[in-house]
């Protein structure tokens, strides 16, 4: 009778339906109510939510875990962050980067993230961070898929040998072409940078992911140029613009036009709400603007939106634990996406939308004949996961359990009794 490697019983899908999930070798072989065959190992999900893993679509693993010991950003601005990092950068070593990034990846995996897109600063003659993360990508392939973006943190045209470094990085292990047009000295140079990046990506057959318009300046409009270049090069589905925080300061008429051309261009937007609510608005007195692309309006306009942690304890963001649910939690607050369906949409941004950005050929949701990559949450719905931000009970990758945690247990001593509290409402049931 025994047939499958694993059968996960009483798994609640995002739709609310309770099913059993059978896993054989590295794949999901069957999903349905009360599967008859048993597994060599049976896992009772106890009605908890089971989903595809989280995707951290934007992080900087080379700068992670450098604060507070090596730098502090006193002004809290993006520009001071770049300055502080440029002071740390000459002293990093391959081993140092690997140690910090490895630790951060383990935190991400424990939180249910199995695909990570990391930008890597290539404004360094030695390309130390790239070599470190390239090695780590292979070393940690059993627990995570890592994509590396060649990221010219200090510009391309305004940095010595910027183009050479970018091209060398692509030939020495970077997967994706990165950029930062708003950091160039003039708008014209920013446009030239983008034209160069698209030609390079086209020539090399690479995806593109550009730090774009990460400023409160409403005159910063490089994302429209990215949309146009995506069309010209027919690179639909292969281009992402990250941050795009200037978008929250565009006037409504321009914002409306921009969302139309973004949808038609087939570009994705990657928002990083944790870092950007810290960095943006620093030059405002009052009111202080929010630091996030308008994800609600983008999502409603059918522009794919994914999410990133961006930073964990680095010169741009001193907090963080590699938990993408925190980013999603912040996103739904800043984006006013608190309606029941909207909360589910934000959970999709953290999972399915991220998958599409990471690998456009990837299948959507949990289903048979796909790799057994899944998360058993300590929550019964996407909304509860975003309310409680739990660490997953079980994380499975390619049919192997790679992370587990015990559900937390809390007691309150009240009127002579020890009452168990789990933050799930009972009185309303
Ligand atoms: Zn970034």
Distance 344 CA to ligand 1 centre (A): 25
Distance 380 CA to ligand 1 centre (A): 32
Distance 58 CA to ligand 1 centre (A): 6
Q: Work out whether the CA dihedral 342, 346, 349, 352 comes out positive or negative.
A: negative
Query: Do you find a cis peptide bond into 273, omega within 30 degrees of 0?
Result: no
Distance 275 CA to ligand 1 centre (A): 9
Q: Are 168 and 161 spatial neighbours (Cβ–Cβ below 8 Å)?
A: no
Distance 243 CA to ligand 1 centre (A): 7
Q: Are 209 and 242 spatial neighbours (Cβ–Cβ below 8 Å)?
A: yes
In the three-class reduction of DSSP (H, G, I as helix; E, B as strand; rest coil), residue 232 is classed as: helix
One digit per residue, the tens of pLDDT, for the chain of length 429 reads 678 999 999 999 999 999 999 999 999 999 999 999 999 999 999 999 999 999 999 999 999 999 988 888 999 998 999 999 999 999 999 999 999 999 999 999 999 999 999 999 999 999 999 999 999 999 999 999 999 999 999 999 999 999 999 999 999 999 999 999 999 999 999 999 999 999 999 999 999 999 999 999 999 999 999 999 999 999 999 999 999 999 999 999 999 999 999 999 999 999 999 999 999 999 999 999 998 999 999 999 999 999 999 999 999 999 999 999 999 999 999 999 999 999 999 999 999 999 999 998 877 888 888 999 999 999 999 999 999 999 999 999 999 999 999 988 999 999 999 999 999 998 755
Whether the full predicted model's pTM is greater than 0.75, yes or no, is yes
Structure tokens at 73: 């950003």
* Cα 32 to Cα 25: distance, rounded to the nearest angstrom: 18
φ, ψ dihedrals at 257, nearest 5°: -60, -45
Distance 307 CA to ligand 1 centre (A): 11
Domains of the chain by residue range: 2-51+365-410, 54-358
Q: What is the dihedral of CA 223, 241, 327, 294, to 10 degrees?
A: 30
Distance 309 CA to ligand 1 centre (A): 9
26-64 pLDDT tens trace: 999 999 999 999 999 999 999 999 999 999 999 999 999
Distance 153 CA to ligand 1 centre (A): 9
Distance 217 CA to ligand 1 centre (A): 17
The total of other beta-carbon atoms located within 10 Å of residue 228's CB is 14
The total of other beta-carbon atoms located within 10 Å of residue 88's CB is 17
Ligand 1 is an ion; residues with CB less than 5 A from it: 310
Is 214 noted as a catalytic residue in this protein?
yes
CATH of 2-51+365-410, one of 2.60.40.10, 3.40.50.2300, 2.30.40.10, 3.40.50.720: 2.30.40.10
Distance 369 CA to ligand 1 centre (A): 34
Say which of 108, 214, 297, 342 is annotated catalytic: 214
pLDDT of amino acid 32: 95
Could you say which architecture CATH assigns to the domain 54-358? Alpha-Beta Barrel (3.20)
């Amino acid at each position: 009778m025994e047939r499958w490697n694993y059968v996960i019983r009483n798994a609640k899908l995002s739709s609310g339906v309770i099913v059993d999930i059978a896993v054989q070798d590295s794949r999901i072989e069957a999903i349905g109510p009360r599967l008859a065959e048993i597994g060599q190992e049976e896992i009772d999900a106890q009605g908890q939510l089971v989903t595809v893993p989280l995707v951290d679509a934007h992080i900087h693993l080379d700068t992670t875990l450098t604060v507070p010991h090596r730098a502090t950003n006193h002004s809290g601005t993006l520009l001071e962050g770049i300055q502080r990092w440029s002071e740390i950068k000459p002293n990093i070593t391959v081993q140092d980067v690997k140690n910090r990034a490895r630790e951060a990846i383990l935190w991400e995996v424990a939180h249910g993230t199995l695909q990570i897109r990391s930008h890597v600063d290539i404004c360094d003659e030695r390309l130390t961070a790239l070599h470190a993360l390239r090695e780590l990508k292979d070393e940690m392939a059993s627990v995570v898929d890592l994509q590396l973006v060649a990221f010219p943190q200090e510009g391309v045209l305004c940095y010595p040998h910027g183009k050479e470094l970018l091209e060398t990085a692509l030939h020495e292990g970077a997967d994706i072409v990165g950029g930062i047009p708003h950091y160039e000295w003039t708008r014209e140079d920013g446009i030239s940078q983008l034209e160069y990046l698209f030609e390079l990506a086209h020539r090399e057959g690479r995806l593109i992911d550009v730090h774009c318009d990460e400023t409160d300046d409403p005159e910063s409009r490089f994302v429209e140029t990215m949309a146009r270049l995506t069309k010209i090069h027919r690179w639909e589905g292969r281009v992402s613009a990250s941050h795009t925080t200037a978008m929250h300061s565009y006037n409504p008429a321009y914002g409306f036009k921009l969302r139309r051309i973004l949808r038609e261009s087939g570009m994705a937007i990657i928002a990083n709400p944790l870092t950007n609510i810290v960095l943006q608005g620093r030059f405002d007195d009052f009111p202080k603007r929010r630091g996030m692309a308008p994800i609600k309006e983008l999502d409603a306009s059918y522009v794919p939106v994914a999410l990133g942690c961006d930073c964990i304890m680095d010169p741009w963001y001193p907090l963080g634990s590699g938990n993408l649910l925190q980013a999603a939690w912040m996103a739904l607050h800043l984006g006013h996406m608190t309606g029941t369906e909207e909360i589910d949409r934000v959970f999709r941004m953290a999972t399915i939308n991220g998958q599409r950005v990471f690998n456009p050929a990837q299948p959507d949701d949990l289903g048979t004949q796909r790799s057994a990559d899944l998360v058993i949450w300590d929550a019964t719905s996407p909304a509860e996961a975003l309310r409680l931000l739990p660490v997953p009970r079980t994380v499975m990758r390619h049919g192997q359990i790679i992370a587990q945690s015990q559900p937390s247990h809390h007691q309150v001593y009240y009127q002579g009794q020890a009452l168990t509290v789990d933050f799930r409402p009972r009185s309303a049931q």
